[in-house]
Structure 1
Amino acid sequence: MDFTKAGVARKLQLEELEYLRMDAYENARIYKENTKVFHDHHIRRKDFQEGDEVLLYNSRLRFLLGKLRSRWEGAFKVKEIKPYGVVELFDPQSDITFKVNGHRVKKYHGYKSPKEVEVLLLEDAPKGEEA
Structure 2
Amino acid sequence: MSLTKSGRHHAYENSKLYKERTKAYHDSKILSRQFEPNDQLTRHQSGPFIVKEVRPYGDIVLLTPDGSREFTMNGHRVKHYWAKAEIPDGHIVPLDGAPPA
What's the TM-score, normalizing by structure 1? 0.62
Inter-partner Cα distance in structure 1 for 2:53 and 2:7:
55
Q: Deviations over 1:28-78 (max 9, x none)?
A: 110000000111011111111110001112xxxxxxxxxxxxxx1111000
Alpha-carbon offset, residue 99 of structure 1: 0.6
Inter-partner Cα distance in structure 1 for 2:5 and 2:25:
30
**Displaced runs of 4 or more, over 6 A:** none
What's the TM-score, normalizing by structure 2? 0.79
Which residue does the alignment assign to 2:77? 104
Q: Deviations over 1:93-124 (max 9, x none)?
A: 25211111111111111121236615xxxxxx
Structure 2: runs of 5 or more not aligned: 93-101
Which has more radius of gyration? 1
Change (3 A) 1:94 1:49: closer
Q: What does 1:1-131 correspond to in 2, within 5 Å?
A: 17-57=4-44, 72-93=45-66, 95-114=68-87, 117-118=91-92
Aligned residue pairs, count:
89
RMSD of aligned residue pairs (Cα, Å)? 1.7
The structure with the greater share of residues assigned to helix is: 1
